[in-house]
Amino acid sequence: MRKKEGPVEVPWVVLKFGGTSVASLAAWRTIAREAAGRARDHRVLVVCSALAGVTDRLEHAVAAARSGDHGADLAAIRAAHAELAAAAGLDPAGPVLEPLRAVLDEAERLLQGVWLTGEAPPRLVARVLAAGELAATRLGVAVLAPLGVEARWLDARQLLESAPRPLDPDERRYLEAAVLPVQAPERLAAAAGDARVALTQGFIARTPDGDTCLLGRGGSDTSASLLAALAGAETLEIWTDVPGLFTADPREVPAARLIRSVGYREARELASLGAKVLHPPCLDPAARHRIPVTIRCTPHPEMAGTRIEGESEAQPAVTAVTCRRGGTLLSLATVTMWDTPGFLARFFAPFEELGISVDLIGTSEAAISVTLDSLPGGVEGRVFKRLLAGLEELGEVRVIHPCAVVSIVGRRIRATLGEIAPALTAFQERPVHLISNSAEDLNLSFVVDEDEGTPLVRRLHDLLFAARGDDPRLGPTWERLRGPPAPAPAAPWWERRRGELLALEADGRPRYVYDLATVRERARRLRERLPSVGRLYYSMKANPHPAILAALHAEGFGIECVSIQEVEAARERLGAGAPLLFTPNFCPVEEYAGAAARGAELTVDGPQLCQDAPALVRGRGVAVRLDPGWGAGHHEKVRTGGPGSKFGLPPEELGALRAAVEAAGGHVVGLHAHLGSGILEPAAWPALARLLASLAAAAGDGLEWIDLGGGLGVPERPGQPELDLDAVEAGLAPIAAALPGIELRLEPGRYVVAEAGVLLVPVTQVRRKSGTVFVGVATGMNSLIRPALYGAWHPIVNLSRHPAAPDLFAQVVGPICESGDVLGRDRWLATPATGDVLLIGNAGAYGHAMASSYNLRPPAEEVVLS
Ligand code: LLP
């Protein structure tokens, strides 16, 4: 009698390993360990891809075989297998590897046939490409044995049979076959016998006629899912070279977080919208049979990965931000569409005829827009031309290419709009061509110009996920998972002056240190690279240190001041000759009087001054600060344009204000506007310049200058591109040329001082609490409030140990009694000891200037290095 716990009763698990996960001995050790571990209480079916690169080589060999040139590809394929065999201590020529040699010999024979006949029909191509998986699994069985795992080799073609449709062309029948998911554990049991571990191929199946067919590129995941369904497996694990699905593409957004768990439909949506980890249709068989799927990382088996299962979908959730590039937006506008039944059918007819599939759709009564994800032959190709010709008969066609589809993915997205709303500020100033909410309510997608894709994803991700602290569905950030970063390429000034900085810190007190040479260098850079700007003003609010004011005055900068105290300080420090511009906001009228008395130019953004102190305006040229109607900048709190902002005069009120100024006996001498702070997009200033230039006539004949404000950003994180000053200049030059006699001005703050300053903070204690390491430092948000206020990111290094490699993942926190007192979240540091000095970079702008004595802790003092 059979015992109840006999092999047939034991549930299966299916483990699938992709190309890079089967290409090295280290990877096979992981396979052996995982298979052996699971085999204690399960039967294990291991599904393998071909060794990394082998399928591409085989494809190439097929093409090369027509001219008999497939030898090099085959030799490379044999070498890759031989190398792995040798690494595993196997003799590539020995009897154990006879089955492997047989597979490769067979592939060679088939390729010879292509050479002889000059033909490579799909049926034969399938057999050649199948050799990759067959070879990997033959070798795999041999590699596993000395690692302690006796695995039975199974031919996937015995397990999976395709279901071709009668009219399928051979390409589809043999190279892109579909297999219907069925549950038939007896089929697997019959093939596997009593083996506890079996090894089989992804990607391949058989046709009803018994020929070899393929499931299409990326089809190995689908094989694994079909095999899991067939086995009625308890779980399916897909092992790959990344730790799972992330809330954004980690290559673009290092702060992307691992998604710990997600529903099948969302995961499929993520895969089809750009996450490359999974082949989109692969989840369907597992989903249909309710088999949980886990994505695991072969190089890091200790990581839990992403679990995909039939989660409760009752709860709305935002899960990720994705981006697909290279798309095409096509719009048709027509008057005949109005109320014409069948118009949409006529619109779509040429798409069907030409085999072009449509992705997103937006319709109105007189227009329709669609996006095309993949276009046979591209936008220059014949197929697209024919499509356009067909559509032009119906109305006016507009094409935008290339565009990107940026999607917020989750479930019940329509119910998350309240949560998403603040993040939509990311779209300010970025033209959106189409918005679409998927019919299944799994995404909200925005079609934008292609080069807007990456900045938008970063911004949206930041706004949607930065504050999602303890969400149990989300794991650590990519930054944390990937380990310490490589050192930055360009050596900053503080590296050269490390000795001086550490000597300064001998007394263990926190300090801001400024390098005047860097300030001067940035000032010259702006002067030289922006020749269209007639005069530069330094916005002293960024850092009013007297030595910095003096250095910039010496570089020919005027000073922009926003309070009477700034005016007084600048005048006192720089003497009577320094040009000062007073640009206050909601300040008492007396401050204007004080500023005027000290020779500053005055900027107004409303009629108040003319009404309350017309004597100040009489005989004077005043400037008008305008609200351009939009803003820009690194954070919502620093964007200063738009109807909700307290700054500036709406352009339509310029005429009335000019009349008020003139009635008081003055005239308008300048137009001023400021978009915000920390802008890295070079088009921002030319766009503003165009607007102000268009208002020049309304300002009257006395107009002498146009000031485009400040806001020039510096990269925050490593890898972020610098502001392209040449692009700013290229945008401004034609505008300046069209405004003879009118001076263009800029008033940067951050750009000139941010990178010139560092904050040095001694470590007070290093403490681990519930798995989190906190590095405490002597000062916190009282010295540098930017991280707490804007979520700003400042680089942090352990200067005492520099350039030792970072090896500790920690939270850098100050002594202030607020949980927001974190100077650096999720940072890699060379492990510090108490007394080490940490350097916080990019701290020259809005650092000390915004410091306070909160908790009665004095902020870090300032030191200038000349
Ligand atoms: N002009 C005006 C009228 C301004 O309001 C500002 C900055 C500037 C020029 C200089 O902007 P910059 O070139 O430095 O970006 N505390 C924030 C920045 C606030 C900026 C306020 N206005 C931060 O730490 O990011």
Which ligand 1 atom lies nearest to the CA of residue 625? 3
Residue with structure tokens 């690279």? Answer: 529
Question: Distance between CA 15 and CA 34 in Å, rounded?
Answer: 9
Question: What's the gap in Å between 749 CA and the centre of ligand 1?
Answer: 6
pLDDT confidence of residue 377: 82
Tell me which of 228 and 490 has the higher pLDDT. 228
Best residue among 536, 540, 541, 627 to mutate for probing ligand 1's pocket (most ligand atoms within 8 Å of CB) is: 541
Beta pairing class for 474-477 and 257-259:
antiparallel
**More confident site: 644 or 685:** 685
Higher per-residue pLDDT: 548 or 334: 548
Nearest ligand 1 atom to alpha carbon 846: 24
Ligand 1 midpoint to CA 792 (Å): 14
Q: pLDDT value at position 413? A: 94
Three-class SS state of 41:
coil
- By mean pLDDT, which of 131-145, 628-642, 694-708, 747-761 is the weakest? 628-642
What gap in Å lies between CA 650 and CA 667, rounded to an integer? Answer: 18
The answer, yes or no, to whether any atom of ligand 1 lies below 6 A from the CB of 626, is: no
Distance, in Å, from the CA atom of 337 to the CA atom of 353, rounded to the nearest integer, reads 21
For ligand 1, the distance from its centroid to the CA atom of residue 542, given in whole angstroms, is 7
pLDDT at 200 over 50: yes
369 CB near ligand 1 (under 6 Å): no
pLDDT (0 to 100) of residue 312: 66
Pocket flag, ligand 1, residue 676 (CB < 6 Å): no
pLDDT tens-digit series, residues 447-468: 999 888 988 998 899 889 977 7
The 10s digit of each residue's pLDDT in 155-181 is 999 999 999 998 889 999 999 999 999
Q: pLDDT digits over 501-510, tens only?
A: 999 999 999 9
748 lines ligand 1 (CB under 6 A): yes
Distance 728 CA to ligand 1 centre (A): 18
Question: Cα–Cα distance between 642 and 789 in angstroms, integer?
Answer: 21
Q: What is the pLDDT of residue 191?
A: 95
Q: Is the CB of 709 under 6 A from ligand 1?
A: yes
Percent of the chain with pLDDT strictly greater than 70: 97
C-alpha of residue 654 to centroid of ligand 1, in Å: 24
Q: Is 750 in the pocket of ligand 1 (CB under 6 A)?
A: yes
Q: Give yes or no for a contact between 555 and 523, defined as CB atoms under 8 angstroms apart.
A: yes
How many angstroms separate the CA atoms of 332 and 392, rounded?
8
Q: What is the pLDDT of residues 710-757, one digit of tens each?
A: 999 999 987 778 999 999 999 999 999 999 999 999 999 999 999 999
Asked whether the beta carbons of 664 and 675 are under 8 A apart, the reply is: no
d(CA 101, CA 122): 24
Residue 489's pLDDT is 57
Q: Is the pLDDT at 6 greater than 60, yes or no?
A: no
In this structure, the residue with its CA closest to atom 6 of ligand 1 is 710
Q: How confident is the model at residue 607 (pLDDT cuts 50, 70, 90)?
A: very high
How far, in Å, from the CA of 840 to the mean position of ligand 1?
20
Q: Is the CB of 842 under 6 A from ligand 1?
A: no
Ligand 1 mean position to 673 CA, how many Å?
A: 12
Tell me the mean pLDDT in the region 533-543.
98
What mean pLDDT is predicted for residues 769-773? 85
From the CA of 723, how far away is ligand 1's center (Å)?
Answer: 16
Q: Does residue 573 carry a pLDDT above 60?
A: yes
Expressed in angstroms and rounded, the spacing between residue 677 Cα and the centre of ligand 1 is 5
pLDDT over threshold 70, residue 302: yes
For ligand 1, pick from 530, 537, 539, 586 the residue to mutate: most ligand atoms within 8 Å of CB: 539
Three-state SS for 458?
A: helix
- Regarding the beta carbon of 250 and ligand 1, being less than 6 Å apart is answered no
Closest CA to 355 of 377, 325, 326, 324: 377
The pTM assigned to this predicted structure is 0.61
Average pLDDT over every residue of 16-45: 95
- Give the distance (Å) from ligand 1 centre to CA of residue 710: 6
Residue with tokens 């199974």: 154
| pLDDT tops 70 at residue 661 | yes
Peptide bond into 208 cis (omega under 30): no
Do residues 271 and 289 make contact, with C-beta atoms less than 8 angstroms apart? Answer: no
Q: Around 774, how many Cα atoms within 13 Å sit in the side-chain half-sphere? A: 15
Atom of ligand 1 nearest to the CA of 678: 15
How far apart CA 146 and CA 754 sit, in angstroms, is 59
Place of tokens 């090099």: 72
Centroid of ligand 1 to alpha carbon of 647 (angstroms): 13
pLDDT (tens digit per residue) in 821-846: 999 998 999 999 999 999 999 999 99
- Which band of pLDDT confidence, cut at 50, 70 and 90, is reported for residue 572? very high
**Ligand 1 mean position, distance from CA 754 (Å):** 12
pLDDT digits (tens, 9 = 90+) for 125-159: 999 999 999 999 999 999 999 999 999 999 999 99
Q: When comparing pLDDT for 53 and 364, which is higher? A: 53
Which distant-in-sequence residues (6+ apart) come within 8 Å of 624 by Cβ? 603, 604, 605, 649, 654, 657, 658, 661, 668, 670, 671, 672, 699
Nearest to 332 by CA among 362, 358, 302, 377: 362
| 166 residue type, one letter | P
Q: With a cut of 70, say whether residue 338 has pLDDT above it.
A: no
pLDDT at 363: 87
pLDDT at 339: 65
The average confidence (pLDDT) of the chain is: 93
Assess whether the C-beta atom of 583 lies below 6 angstroms from ligand 1: yes
Report the relative pairing of strands 212-214 and 204-206 from DSSP bridges.
Answer: antiparallel
Interatomic CA distance for residues 190 and 575, integer angstroms: 95
Which residue in 596, 560, 603 sits closest to 578, CA to CA? 560
Distance (Å) from CA 408 to ligand 1 centroid: 31
Place of tokens 């007084």: 568
- Whether 639 and 621 have beta carbons less than 8 Å apart is answered as no
Tell me which DSSP letter residue 545 carries: -
Average pLDDT rounded to a whole number, residues 295-320: 87
Residue 660's pLDDT is 97
The CA distance from 134 to 100, in Å, is 8
- Is the CB of 710 inside a 6 Å radius of any atom of ligand 1? yes
More confident residue, 95 or 364: 95
CA of 748 to the centre of ligand 1 (A): 8
* Exposure on the CB side of residue 595, measured as CA atoms within 13 A: 30
Is the per-residue pLDDT at 675 higher than 90? yes
Ligand 1 pocket, 749 CB below 6 A?
yes
Residue 486 has pLDDT above 80, yes or no: no
pLDDT of residue 3: 43
pLDDT tier for residue 429 given thresholds of 50, 70 and 90: confident
Q: Is the CB of 836 inside a 6 Å radius of any atom of ligand 1?
A: no
Q: Are 670 and 649 in contact (CB under 8 A)?
A: no
Which positions ≥6 away from 591 have C-beta within 8 Å?
563, 564, 582, 584
Q: How high is the pLDDT of residue 487?
A: 58
pLDDT digits (tens, 9 = 90+) for 10-25: 999 999 999 999 999 9
**How large a percentage of the chain has pLDDT more than 90?**
79
Is 5's pLDDT higher than 60? no
Q: Is 319 in the pocket of ligand 1 (CB under 6 A)?
A: no
603 lines ligand 1 (CB under 6 A): no
545 in ligand 1 pocket by Cβ < 6 Å? Answer: no
pLDDT in tens, 97-121: 999 999 999 999 999 999 999 999 9
Helices (H), 505-544: 516-529
pLDDT at 718: 78
747 Cα–ligand 1 center, Å: 9
Reading the block at residue 305, the tokens are 């990965």
